Amino acid sequence: MAAAIKRTKLPLGDSIPVLGQGTWHFGEDPARWDDEVAALQLGLDLGLTVIDTGEMYGDGAAEDLVGDAIDGRRDDVFLVTKVSPAHFRDGEMALACEKSLRRLGTEWIDLYLLHSRGFQLLDETLDALAELERLEKISSWGVSNFGVPDLRELIQVRDGVHVQTDQVPYNLARRDVESDLLPWCRTRGIPVMACSPFEQGQLPSQTGLRRVAERHGATPAQVALAWVVGREGVAAIARARTPEHVRENRAALDLRLTPDDLTDLEQAFPLLGNERPSAHP
């Protein structure tokens, strides 16, 4: 029997499994619709209850597809979607959120992320988020692709804001967040949500994973996933369209990497000079 899935606590108290399911490019090909719905539903059955999507994915098609996948089981899901910078202003965010809710077939979003920093004044954006929280359209909010300067600005604009996560690309081949963002977030108890844990499918074929995978009778993809979810203060979102990949990814959560494994991976995927953790995050 599989062990219980490790969980991460968000600042407001929700706890989520360290691995969730991504939906970038889902819903774009009608011929794949049913398979993508089935993949998400299998993931839910296996305990991967965080589903991450965005209004930008397929121009809303991914949210529509997620709506199909969670139909009748909304309470089993921790639903994350993202609002695009084009909709950060007050009235526009309310409308964008309403459209997302309609496509998702739900009355609330568990975590609403600002998809990237954008150019809007944060003050107005924060007011719009607060209003959505007040109306219980969203339960909490966070950010995505924010750097430390953006997060600092956020906190300066409004002291005491409750940013639940920063979702950024992070994997063995892309470790730049270790220089500043990861330590900064760890210090403040904000989990980083690692997206593209397979570098959009490129990472599993890299030779550096093979030796560790063989040692455990695992696949390279499982090693890549076990590494990222094993990092302190990190949860991940992986996209898988096939049932084999969904099962494999769930099983990767039971893989325990040893100190020798970690040393081998460090050697195969070294930090570059400019990625070393700074002394003052």
Ligand X SMILES: NC(=O)c1ccc[n+]([C@@H]2O[C@H](COP(=O)([O-])OP(=O)(O)OC[C@H]3O[C@@H](n4cnc5c(N)ncnc54)[C@H](OP(=O)(O)O)[C@@H]3O)[C@@H](O)[C@H]2O)c1
Supply the minimum distance, in Å, between the C-beta of residue 88 and ligand X: 15
Of residues 204-233, those binding ligand X (CB under 6 A): 204, 219, 221
Q: Which stretch binds ligand X (CB under 6 A): 1-9, 88-96, 99-107, 241-249?
A: 241-249
Residues 98, 103: Cα–Cα separation, whole Å: 9
32 binds ligand X (CB under 6 A): no
- Judging by DSSP bridges, how do beta strands 234-238 and 19-22 pair with one another? parallel
Of residues 153-172, those binding ligand X (CB under 6 A): 167, 169
Tokens of 104: 């998702």
Q: Which stretch binds ligand X (CB under 6 A): 16-24, 83-91, 99-107, 151-159?
A: 16-24
The H or E element that residue 102 is part of is: helix 90-104
Q: Which stretch binds ligand X (CB under 6 A): 84-92, 97-105, 190-198, 264-272?
A: 190-198
Supply the minimum distance, in Å, between the C-beta of residue 224 and ligand X: 9
Residues 174, 193: Cα–Cα separation, whole Å: 14
Q: Which is nearer to ligand X, 183 or 197 (CB)?
A: 197
E-only strand ranges, 119-227: 141-144, 163-169, 192-195
Supply the minimum distance, in Å, between the C-beta of residue 235 and ligand X: 11
- Judging by DSSP bridges, how do beta strands 7-9 and 15-17 pair with one another? antiparallel
Residues 249, 138: Cα–Cα separation, whole Å: 28
264 binds ligand X (CB under 6 A): no
Question: Do 29 and 57 contact (CB within 8 A), yes or no?
Answer: no
Of residues 43-102, those binding ligand X (CB under 6 A): 52
Question: Do 255 and 216 contact (CB within 8 A), yes or no?
Answer: yes
Out of 55, 166, 248, 261, name the contact with ligand X by CB under 6 A. Answer: 248
Residues 170, 163: Cα–Cα separation, whole Å: 19
Supply the minimum distance, in Å, between the C-beta of residue 222 and ligand X: 7
Q: Which is nearer to ligand X, 54 or 183 (CB)?
A: 54
CA dihedral sign, ordered 9, 14, 18, 22: negative
Out of 10, 18, 22, 179, name the contact with ligand X by CB under 6 A. Answer: 22
Supply the minimum distance, in Å, between the C-beta of residue 273 and ligand X: 25
Out of 92, 127, 150, 199, name the contact with ligand X by CB under 6 A. Answer: 199
Main-chain phi, psi angles of 19, to 5 degrees = -125, 130
Supply the minimum distance, in Å, between the C-beta of residue 252 and ligand X: 7
Cα–Cα distances in angstroms (integers) from residue 155 to residues 11, 45, 151, 265, in the given order: 15, 38, 6, 35
Supply the minimum distance, in Å, between the C-beta of residue 234 and ligand X: 13
Partners of 171 in the beta sheet? 174
Q: Which stretch binds ligand X (CB under 6 A): 1-9, 181-189, 238-246, 259-267?
A: 238-246
Residues 190, 221: Cα–Cα separation, whole Å: 26
Residues making contact with ligand X (CB under 6 A): 22-24, 52, 144-145, 167, 169, 195-201, 204, 219, 221, 237-242, 245, 248-249
